[in-house]
Chains A and B, each alone.
Chain A
Amino acid sequence: MKKVNKDVLKDAANRLYFDMTDDQYETLLEEFDTIQSEFELMGQIVGVDEATPMTFPFDVSIDYLRDDVPEEPLKAEDVLKNAGNVKDGQIKLPKVVG
């Protein structure tokens, strides 16, 4: 299993367009150590490969549905802020189909 260290976390954060303070990285690293040791423990259980994967660890069903009420959208300039190339208010890419 790949060792999670601060560089790995920084790289992941960078790819996801955010950053954290050093304290936050330290906290996260400690949490990853716990997670990794628990995964290693689970790896020792015989027959775990045959178990049906679960998305939720227990019954988490809800009955919440959001009302169909729109809110103010992003400003177009914010939507386009991270785009490398913009034309006519749209994100411009190299042609994606032949």
Chain B
Amino acid sequence: MNFETIVGIEIHVEMKTKSKMFSLAPITFGDKPNTEVALLDMAFPGTMPRVNKEAVKNAIRVSNALHMTIDHELWFDRKNYFYSDLPKGYQITQQARPIGSEGYLEIDLDGEKKRIHVERLHMEEDTCMQHHFSDYTLLDYNRAGIPLIEIVSKPEIRSGLEARKYVEKIREIVTYSNVSDGKMEEGSLRCDVNVSIRPYGSEKFGTKVEVKNLNSIANVEKAIDFEAKRQSELLLMGKEVEQETRRFDEAKKETVLMRKKTDAADYKYFTEPNIPPIKLSEEFIQNAIDTCPELYDHKLERFLTDYKLNSIDAKIILSDVEFANYYDEAAKFTKLYQALANYMISEVNGYLNKNDISILEFKVEPKFVAELVELVQSKQINSSQGKEIFAKMVKENKSPLKLQKELGATLISDEETIRKLVLEVLAQNVTLRDDYKAGKTRAQGFVMGQIMKKTGGKVNPGIANKVIVEELKK
């Protein structure tokens, strides 16, 4: 029997705000444990939540990118549970009225667009970080209260591949809108998937299994494909799929049982009484949308039409929003857009990979990279001189024009000097002119090789070629 895989995805995105969702504690990440905590985060009596404006703007921007209906009134609810990760005994969330509802995104499947509907997007606060050891647990409250948005898809995803594309798209939206750094490996984008299967043609959903702890987009795809296979094998053996929570074991490339699910937990939701309903004006919402940084699809379109980049290179550059922004800056200083793209993909990216750093840690000003591309492309320097200048530039962040002077990296471009060199080669190889006239064009290459050898590669190849042909024709 053939089964259809049904997947719904819940994504939690940690926002890049300066302060927490409801308290004034700073967020810097990677600071010492329990040093970014306010009284509210520790649930001291008398402390009151105050909603972070930037977090609301972020939620509006992502809702808009997902074509959602945006609620013009903010309502928050308490999700009550007793656990050490939240001292208040409840999490402030938006259960009844999410800020965003009923939207969609489109994924690309071999050139075909598939629309995946997004049920809801709401804001909430993160819980504290728990570190579990063999016989004890440590609590760090730095994370407690960091603003989150939760994005819930409808169960319209049908394979691991579609799920991967869906998560990639969400990641693209939250990183390009500057809402989050979207790093799954660091937990700023967390993904839980619900997987079930049913016979093709059936309308009824099967028992769903939740898979947690997916720390990379590749693992989302692997976990779903594994889970669909596991469930179909169970059904084919006449067994039942049990409702349970599993996690993905990266080493074994399989999902393993975490716990059996009993009835859904009753969180006794009720409206957060400490936050009155907050009215959002049309002007505020529109401003949040209008000031949203350029999103991926728009940027791609612009790179293809304005910079005339080929699609593959444009997508490579856009695969990292900061890299794309750097390219945009550099492109202000040259019109050689494709050459700049090639240079950034090969030289700059190569340097970043070799040194295991991001473009944000690359100290060279974008205009200097553009300047270097101009120098190489106009053949004022050759590629090895270009590499030499690049090596010095990444250390000193100096203009390549200045470095060119400092290093004496110039090419011989004077025609008469080059002609003298060509004539020397022709005098030593008297048959070359006849060979060339007889159609042996490699004679031209031979002369070029010889003069490059004589000068250590410092002849302007464009001018040299012109002179060589002139002399060979004589």
Contact = CB atoms under 8 A, between A and B. Distances in A.
B393 interface: no
B138 interface: yes
Interface in A38-75: 53, 55-56, 60-71, 73-74
Contacts of B273: 55-56
Contacts of B135: 94-95
Contacts, number: 128
Interface residues of A, number: 34
A17 B45 contact: yes
A97 B37 CA distance: 24
B213 interface: no
A69 B37 contact: no
B21 to A, nearest CB: 10
Nearest to B135: A95
A79 interface: yes
Given A65-B278, A74-B37, A93 B53 contact: no
A73 B45 contact: no
A94 B136 contact: yes
Nearest to B50: A66
A92 interface: yes
A93 B134 CA distance: 12
Nearest to A87: B138
Contact of B279 (A62, A88, A93): A62
Interface of A: 16-18, 53, 55-56, 60-71, 73-74, 76, 79-80, 87-97
11 contacts: A60-B277, A68-B19, A68-B52, A69-B18, A73-B26, A74-B25, A76-B32, A76-B33, A79-B42, A89-B140, A95-B136
Given A90-B138, A96-B130, 5 more contacts: A17-B44, A53-B270, A68-B53, A69-B24, A89-B35
Which 3 pairs, one residue from A and one from B, show the smallest C-beta to C-beta distance?
A70-B26, A68-B54, A65-B53
Interface of B: 17-19, 24-27, 32-39, 42, 44-45, 50-56, 73, 83-84, 130-141, 270-271, 273, 276-281
